[in-house]
Amino acid sequence: MTLPVQKTALVLGASGLIGDSLTHHLVDSTFYSNVKVLVRKSLSWQHPRLQQIQFDFNNPNGLLTQANDIFCCLGTTIKKAGSKEAFRKVDYQYSMDVARLGLANGAQQFAIVTAMGADPDSRIFYNKIKGEVERDLTILNYPTLLIFRPSILFGNRTESRLGERIAAGAMRLFNPIIPAKYRGIEADKVANAMLETTQQNLTGKHVFESDALQEF
């Protein structure tokens, strides 16, 4: 029997809602012999195949970005970041920096979580930044670029985001009557979609809207 080729995965945003779920999926999968996470502070859990790398996103070391597949789950809020400029640095600049360095070091696939409504021409700042990162990642011309645009996320966050908790609660209540594309989605479904699609030998750019993610 031929064993699957085992590869290295690299995760950005492993402490977040989707990133945490994804990292657990990755270390439990048969596809990756090594799962690297770029962190500012150590995660609260360990695994034999998990490699935690203290990483300065403001002074990125390209050698630390070496991986076959890169999964970007970075995301913050303007309130937490402190300003629109700081928000853009996390959600746009850090993602682009690692994408460029990873590609230069041989990465074949880049999978990123953006948002429903991502559009570089949007008047909504959040959607505009998400659209800009999608646009500029496309220009990098990765062999495989996978973009995931979830709606409101369901799941247990380690940090308190009152507005998102209220929105998620309302969304759960009305989810059955909301059109599929706009329904809230479990973070674990998004994470599972990221893992499964990277194993489908896709090439080029593929965008997965929230309703498609519900199928995973």
pLDDT tens track for 31-73: 999 999 999 999 999 999 999 999 999 999 999 999 999 999 9
| pLDDT tens for each residue of 169-214 | 555 555 565 666 667 899 999 999 999 999 999 999 999 999 999 8
pLDDT band at 5 (very low <50, low <70, confident <90, very high): low
Residue extents of the structural domains in the chain:
7-211
Compute CA distances 112 → 47, 77, 151, 173, whole Å.
Answer: 23, 17, 14, 28
- CA distances from residue 178 to 10, 12, 127, 214 in whole angstroms, order as listed: 35, 31, 21, 13
* Residue 209 burial (10 A CB sphere; 0-12, 13-18, 19+): middle
User: d(Cα 211, Cα 149) in Å, to the nearest integer?
Assistant: 9
Fold exhibited by the domain 7-211: Rossmann fold (3.40.50)
65-95 pLDDT, tens digit each: 999 999 999 999 889 999 999 999 999 999 9
Active site (catalytic) residues:
126, 130
Question: Three-class SS of residue 88?
Answer: helix
Task: Give the pLDDT band (50/70/90) at residue 163.
Answer: low
CA nearest to 143, candidates 183, 103, 112 = 103
Q: Are 211 and 181 in contact (CB under 8 A)?
A: yes
